[in-house]
Amino acid sequence: MSTSNMEAGTKAPRGKRTPVLTISVMAMFTALVFVVTQFVWVPISAVPGQRFDAGDIIIFIAAWTFGPLVGGFAGGVGSSLSDAVVGGAPYWPFTLVVKGLEGTIAGLVFRRVPGSRLKLSWLFASLVMVGGYFITNAAFIGLIVGANSALNPGLVGATVEVPFDVAQVLAGGLIGRPVARYLRNALPTVLPSPRTSGSKA
């Protein structure tokens, strides 16, 4: 099926996705999120311990291709495991929640909301990611490491990180969109059927 037909709302044939296949896809994307987050990154010098990474690309691809369950699980677990491994132990439980919600909301909105599903999905998921880390940095990390710790970003560090997080989700959406579209066209029989039609994906 061509991309133009997909965007016009033409339905591809769909098959039932078995639990085994769902678990396999979740495991694969969780590993991809972990590997990309772990190895494709640059440090944010203004915020101690923080990095600009490419993990959001995989989260958006997972959510937009396979739905909220895969996107949420892979985003939360894969990203939090990476945080724990690289020594970002104070962050991993917050990352589990923030990135998990990012992937879940991206998948849910894309599947259920009429109109410009992808744009709204991208917007809401990005707000969750950027806002979640702002609150985490400004309010919660200091409670774990101590208010005077060098690892506590505080309000200033949280504010400095915002544009980097915005750029990260922008890159995730810009790259994830064409990849997810290609996968949806190439693998129609194992994908969930969107509940709305006629909107661009």
Tens of pLDDT along 12-69?
Answer: 345 567 889 899 999 999 999 999 999 998 887 666 667 889 999 999 999 999 999 9
Inside any domain, residue 80: yes
Q: For 106-134, b where at least 16 C-beta lie within 10 A, e where not — what string? A: bbbbbbebeeebbbbbbbbbbebbbebbb
As a whole number of angstroms, the distance between CA 48 and CA 131 comes to: 19
| CATH number reported for the structural domain that contains residue 109 in this entry | 1.10.1760.20
Inside any domain, residue 200: no
Inside any domain, residue 159: yes
Q: Would you state the structure tokens that stand for residue 174, as one six-digit string?
A: 């810009």
Inside any domain, residue 196: no
Nearest alpha carbon to residue 101 among 123, 71, 66, 80: 71
- Which residue range is the domain that position 113 belongs to? 3-190
Q: How many domains does the chain have?
A: 1
Contacts of 51 (CB under 8 A, 6+ apart): 41, 42, 43, 44
Give residue-wise pLDDT tens across range 106-131.
999 999 886 678 999 999 999 999 99
pTM, rounded to two decimals: 0.85
